């Protein structure tokens, strides 16, 4: 699969497919939180729903829209590698956990927004910034012909070899805080484990093979995932 990083293609049909599926997932999340989907789910799991629509439902929906916009920017502007059809369906399946999963978990939470929630909104913004800004920094570096074949270790990537992945963990954690259900904590934890024990080792092996000594030097001085910690 990692050979795809060396293969370039616009993959427009695949990217459009991802966008359409994710739009449908966001529509489903809205139906759950603001339509008749919520009562159906509540009856199935024996939850009591709030008498009025909580503001946090709107926060979850806003998060969904921001993530979709970020995904579009990443796919149609930043991503140059080939996107296989298998990934075109796997990506929305994973994002359904965020779009739909948190829309379900937030249903019984009728608490007004408090300090923890405002901190979560700030964390969401931070996570999005870490992911998108780091990817943009690397994109600008790669666009310079003088940097052809070079490993990018600057910008936010100077603080973590996979700062973009860390950003994802942060904004997913923000979703969990807004939802306010204990089961929500499993989603960012699962994402961390996926990155730490699968994606990062796999990607590091590819980068080590491609860049050799420059990557090994970068690896020796830089944290893997969480800046200053791990």
26, two tokens:
């966001």
In whole angstroms, how far apart are CA 205 and each of 138, 156, 216, 218, 220? 19, 21, 11, 13, 14
pLDDT digits (tens), the chain, 230 positions: 555 555 788 899 999 999 999 999 999 999 999 999 999 999 999 999 999 999 999 999 999 999 999 999 999 999 988 899 999 999 999 999 999 999 999 999 999 999 999 999 999 999 999 999 999 999 999 999 999 999 999 999 999 999 999 999 999 999 999 999 999 999 999 999 999 999 999 999 999 999 999 999 999 999 999 999 99
Torsions phi, psi for 81 (to 5 deg): -75, 165
| Closest to 165 (Cα-Cα) out of 140, 139, 141, 197 | 197
What does the domain layout of the chain look like in residue ranges? 1-109, 113-230
Question: What pTM value is reported for the model?
Answer: 0.93
> What is the distance, to the nearest Å, from the Cα of residue 37 to the centroid of all Cα atoms in its chain?
25
């Amino acid at each position: 699969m990692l050979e795809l990083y060396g293969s370039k293609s616009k993959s427009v049909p695949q990217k459009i497919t991802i966008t359409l599926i994710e739009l449908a997932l966001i529509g489903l999340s809205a139906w759950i939180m603001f339509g008749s989907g919520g009562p159906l789910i509540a009856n199935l799991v024996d939850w009591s729903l709030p008498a009025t629509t909580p503001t946090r439902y709107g926060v979850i929906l806003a998060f969904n829209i921001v993530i979709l916009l970020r995904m579009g920017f990443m796919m149609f502007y930043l991503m140059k590698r080939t996107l296989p059809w298998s990934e075109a369906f796997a990506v929305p399946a994973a994002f359904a956990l965020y779009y739909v999963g948190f829309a379900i978990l937030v249903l019984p939470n009728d608490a007004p927004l408090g300090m923890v929630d405002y901190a979560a909104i700030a964390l969401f913004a931070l996570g999005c910034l870490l992911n998108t800004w780091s990817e943009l920094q690397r994109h600008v570096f790669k666009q310079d012909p003088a940097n052809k074949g070079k490993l990018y270790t600057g910008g936010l990537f100077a603080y973590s070899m996979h700062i973009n992945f860390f950003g994802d963990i942060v904004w997913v954690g923000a979703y969990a805080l807004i939802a306010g259900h204990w089961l929500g904590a499993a989603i960012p934890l699962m994402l961390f484990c996926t990155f730490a024990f699968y994606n990062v080792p796999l990607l590091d092996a590819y980068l080590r093979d491609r860049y050799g000594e420059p990557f090994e030097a970068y690896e020796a001085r830089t944290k893997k995932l969480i800046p200053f910690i791990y």
